[in-house]
Amino acid sequence: MKKIFIGAHLCLILLSVSIFAQEFRTVQDGIEHANFTKQIKSQDGKTEPSVVNLLRLDLTKVRLDVVHAMDAAIGLETTSSIAARHGAIAAINAGFFRLDKSIFAGDAAGILQIDGKLLSESYAGRIALIISNEKNKTEIHFSKQNRVQALRVGNYDWDASGINRERKTDELILYTPEFHRTTLTDKNGLEVIVENKKIVWIADGKGSHLIPGNGFVLSASGKAREKLLGQIKIGETVSVGTRLYPV
């Protein structure tokens, strides 16, 4: 089955041209490609040519995969490199992400879920592209998502502030093995290491703990630290689910 790589969030641009007038050529069975050049006026008033590439897909013959740079929750990588590693026929860079010189560069700016694993939380009610690869066809849907990680620590229920991103003041962040080797946090917080759904270690005033492959780390600072510290103990059961809120 052919593969097309596509980003987790899709920004569609409606152009005032007829794509049906373009000459499509067959790349492989189920995949057709065309391109055209359109004159675009820049902010400084100059008009420059812009090449637009189009793909026409038969979703009964191809499959769409969502892949993040470095196959992790953070990190930067060119689209061509990702496509080559995964053997894709075509690739589209369609995600929004943090782009700076920090170690958190590449953090998705919105919900990102791959193969059932949530890597990044919803942001600002942005529309998400949902891809479902069935046995005989691929289906795509668009949906506004406000999804958070719901935690139960003992008899207490929590909503995580975020997942697999930089921890800020008064936040509770969930770190999974897809994030990095460690949490990359400073010492100004509390970290709870969970393995096989049980708390195995509690570290207050220490940061950047290893993330277990069979679990996760809860990292809290400020007010979230104070609240969590009074409700946890080693051996306590911690479960993680998903809670959906109206957008």
Domains of the chain, by residue range, sit at 2-144, 147-244
Question: What are the C-alpha distances in Å from 20 to residues 25, 35, 60, 92, 154?
Answer: 13, 11, 21, 21, 59
Integer Cα distance of 104 and 169 in angstroms: 16
Of 10, 12, 3, 165, the C-alpha closest to 75 is: 165
Q: How far apart are CA 238 and CA 235, in angstroms?
A: 9
Q: Which residues of the chain are modeled with pLDDT < 70?
A: 1-21
Q: What is the pLDDT of residues 118-132, one digit of tens each?
A: 999 998 888 888 999
With a CB cutoff of 8 Å and minimum separation 6, the contacts of 84 are none
Architecture in CATH of 147-244: Sandwich (2.60)
Q: What is the pLDDT of residue 13?
A: 34
To which H or E segment does residue 86 belong? Answer: helix 79-86
